Amino acid sequence: MLSGNSSSIYSLSTPKKSSFILLGSSFYALVIFLVLDHPFFGDCINLGSRYAHWFLESNFSGIIAPAGIDSGNPPFFGAYLALWWKFFGRSLAVAHVAMLPFLIGIVWSFYHIARYFFEGKWLWMSLALLLLEPTLLAQSTMLSPDIPLTFFFLMAVAGLLNNRPNMQMLGLCGLPLLSTRGIMTVAVVFLAECFLIFLDKNRKFSFSRIGKYIPAGLLAVGWMGYHYLNTGWISYNQESMPWAGGFATVGLVGYIKNVAILGWRILDFGRIFVWIVAGILLFFLFTKKLVLDRRFKILLALTLAPLLVFVPVLARYSGLLQHRYLLQAYLLVALCVLYGLQRMPSTKVAYPLFIFTLVGLLSGHFWIYPDKVAQGWDSSLAHVPYFELRDEMVQYIQAKNIAPTSVMTGTPNQFSYKETNTASSTWQFNHIDGADYENAPYIFYSNAFNDVPDDFYDVLHSQWTPVKSFERSRIRVTLFKNPRLQ
């Protein structure tokens, strides 16, 4: 039993580890089954598909991809997908099945974290929060490197909490293999461990604790050094890497604005309901009806660590404000709220607030903003209708014998069908970003794109001729024709 908890809270027996993991794994297996034909989407195209195709087609001839594909990130997620394709055939279905081991690993690691803080029915409730977190659920339907990143992070934290150094070290070693953000996540775990040493009298500083980070550090330094020796740059290259524009630094005003945007990311897609409940719990703390015990402090410290590491760094740049970059913090914030509900003296208040939280998280998949507001389409399920709408529009364009080179479009629609659908077709449009779109014969527009400039959006919808449009569940695709070229 956890100290300081009301025994009435644990009227249900604590779920067995096997039952917890089986239920969570079955949920993700069902998700994978339902999305076997979903194409690569968003940044997963660059970080997953393009790397995987290069590895497969070059027969794993190296680990540094050519310019235009190389993003400076360690390429091993792409290599992982390519290995699956090599043994089981190149297809979307195989790639999606390849994600299942990491999703099961997330459930397994999460159990070891949640079991440290919860028992009985509250442990089951923690599983519900994990499975219904909007951004994690959306990423689980994709072929996203953030899934293994989340797995290795949770494994490292689980090892840290439960004094299992080998588990922690293994999780830490997985992080530098995925991305430069994975390398930063090693620092998140280190900061969290520093907090725990301060809060837990049973944890003492020792050089063996530092030793757990040495293998991960060597992997990170080894990759960056090897990449620098072969390319002359680390992490960022304005001339050849994808998303180079996103690394433009901002001034003080831009920095403050970006911090505010990241604050909204934390509230977005239904998570504002989590923070409303957090505000209620804060009231109970001030009125002494809720006690901030040691484990509550530990959980709060764990939550603070990714925010302290990522927010100051991400806010410095113009294009690094994606929702998924704070995914680990979302999970920990939700656990903080659940722990506060568990500590409340009356379940008559705690249970309705928990249901309120779940309903709020589910509502996040229905949040669609006006067209001019950039939305994290890879961070909720709102984007799902886009795939079929895109195919319908492509079929229409082909039926009308419109050359793809005469059509400009937005991200992620500018990539070829080979890169998004693992198809043999190299059908590909031109990218609207930074292009001379005013002289394009056609524009393929969707409200699921974020890179259409606001001023051109107004011109497009007021002066260009809509040729064909498809819509489903508030997602739209429209083919516009340039009036000057009619």
pLDDT digits (tens, 9 = 90+) for 165-213: 999 999 999 999 999 999 999 999 999 999 999 887 777 777 778 999 9
- Rounded to two decimals, the pTM is 0.92
Query: What φ, ψ does residue 119 adopt, rounded to 5°?
Result: -140, 170
Furthest C-alpha separation in the chain: 76
Handedness of CA 460, 467, 476, 434 (dihedral sign): negative
Helix pair angle (120-132, 347-363), 10° resolution: 20
Contact 248, 319 (CB under 8 A): yes
Q: Sheet containing 465-472: which strands, arranged edge to edge?
A: 430-431, 407-409, 442-446, 475-481, 465-472
What pLDDT shows up at residue 5? 43
What pLDDT shows up at residue 145? 95
What pLDDT shows up at residue 1? 36
Nearest residue to 451 via CA among 410, 401, 408, 404? 410
Contact 153, 185 (CB under 8 A): yes
* CA distance linking residue 105 with residue 20, whole number of Å: 12
Q: How do beta strands 407-409 and 442-446 pair?
A: parallel
- Encoding tokens for residue 192? 């969290």
Q: Report DSSP letters for 264-311, one per residue.
A: HHHHTTTHHHHHHHHHHHHHHHHTTSS---HHHHHHHHHHHHHHHHHH
What pLDDT shows up at residue 476? 96
What pLDDT shows up at residue 9? 35
- Give the residue extent of every domain in the chain: 13-366, 384-485
The pLDDT tens digits along the chain (486 residues) read 343 343 333 334 567 888 999 999 999 999 999 999 999 998 899 999 999 999 999 999 999 988 888 888 999 999 999 999 999 999 999 999 999 999 999 999 999 999 999 988 999 999 999 999 999 999 999 999 999 999 999 999 999 999 999 999 999 999 999 999 999 999 999 999 999 998 877 777 777 789 999 999 999 999 999 999 998 888 766 555 555 566 678 889 999 999 999 999 999 999 999 999 999 999 998 888 888 888 999 999 999 999 999 999 999 988 788 999 999 999 999 999 999 999 998 889 999 999 999 999 999 999 999 998 989 999 999 999 999 999 999 999 999 999 998 999 988 898 999 999 998 877 888 887 666 777 889 999 999 998 888 888 999 999 999 999 999 999 999 999 999 876
